[in-house]
Amino acid sequence: MSLAELICPAGTPAALRTAVDAGADAVYCGFQDATNARNFPGLNFTPDELAASVAYAHDKGTKVLLALNTYPPAGKVDLWRQAADTGALLGVDAFIVADMGVADYIARTHPGVRLHLSVQAAASSPEAIRYYCENFAVKRVVLPRILTIPEIREIRKEIPCEIETFIFGNHGLMVEGRCSLTNYLTGQSTNMDGVCSPASDVEYKRHTDGSMSSQLAGFTIDCFGADEKAGYPTICKGRYTAPHRSEPYYAFEEPISLNLSRLLPDLVEAGVHAFKIEGRQRSKSYVRGVVSAFRQAVDDIRAGREANIADLVALTEGQKQTQGAFETKKWR
């Protein structure tokens, strides 16, 4: 059986302490800049905050993983190198990287620190994963959310590193690390600036009939009726009119979250080493609730008991959940 480590999100030092106290095996976080894919206003860590947080986590036996999972624009690698140097100095347990240049720098400069391949690298074949392992000594791959469990089981047999999969949270099925939708509307890049639907470009409008529209850079991407649940203002989950449709429709995805709580035993059996919870942009309340629920579930599985999973639908986007491609390739 794999270890089934629980990898938990932290957007602030207080959220990190919450995750540690709720039973995280490892917490992942990022600096307050473009080096990570949750470069949101008011979120993330200063170097001093990360130092204190690493000390707190290590004192409780929890690892800290530093997300450096964006792509430096050509010729502008210094920010990523400095972040790696700072992270190594502060004693983080692993870097989560997507860019080969960043991976190469860390492999050469800080060979004692583990490298994990971010989902943003979109490595979904044994050949791609082996390339990262052989060239940059990657120890773990975070798989894109496009594979079935049988496919994961087959990949596991053919790669020399650990597998981490998302089990809960945001569910976006773009080719991860390649999405340019935000860039198209706002000029900012999800993959290089670390911002998907930057808050500075988001506006919500309340209408007299109780409906609410969400806009990004002046474009309306959805309008929720008075009694409808809402989702994030991301283009991939927008609802659009089209000449061939009589009603607005979700062209790419719909507001929904991944929840694999019922598939945890199958994932363990398939050889998944670590379970990742998405949501560095979420509150301590979310971290406390989701981490506690999955801590209990993983402990049950480790002990050979049937996992008793708390109902987490209230925390899901649009208050809907799916097992996505993990259950069937027919998803979307």
Q: Where do contacts with other proteins occur on this chain (CB under 8 A)?
A: 11-15, 17, 40-43, 198-200, 202-206, 212, 224, 227-232, 255, 281-286, 289, 314-319
The pair of structure tokens assigned to 85 is 């140097």
Q: CA angle, corner 202, sides to 196 and 204, nearest 5? A: 135
Rounded to whole angstroms, the maximal C-alpha distance in the chain is 60
Q: Cβ of residue 223: shortest distance to other proteins, in angstroms?
A: 13
Report the amino acid identity of residue 13: P
**Minimum distance, C-beta of residue 25 to other proteins, in the bound complex (Å):** 22
State the nearest-atom distance from the C-beta of 330 to other proteins, in Å: 25
Nearer to other proteins, 46 or 308 (CB): 46
Q: Residues near 157 by Cβ (< 8 Å), separated by ≥ 6?
A: none
Q: How far apart are CA 82 and CA 194, in angstroms?
A: 17
Our CB check for other proteins shows the closer of 228 and 300 to be 228
**Alpha-carbon span 332 to 324, nearest angstrom:** 8
Residue with smaller CB distance to other proteins, 11 or 177: 11
Minimum CB distance to other proteins, residue 312 (Å): 10
SS3 state of residue 47? helix
Q: Which of 231, 206, 224, 204 is nearest to 215 (CA)?
A: 204
Q: Are 79 and 41 in contact (CB under 8 A)?
A: no
Taking the complex as a whole, the smallest distance from the CB of residue 314 to other proteins amounts, in Å, to 6
Q: Which CB, 204 or 249, lies closer to other proteins?
A: 204
Q: Considering the complex, state which of residue 16 and residue 133 has its C-beta at the smaller distance from other proteins.
A: 16
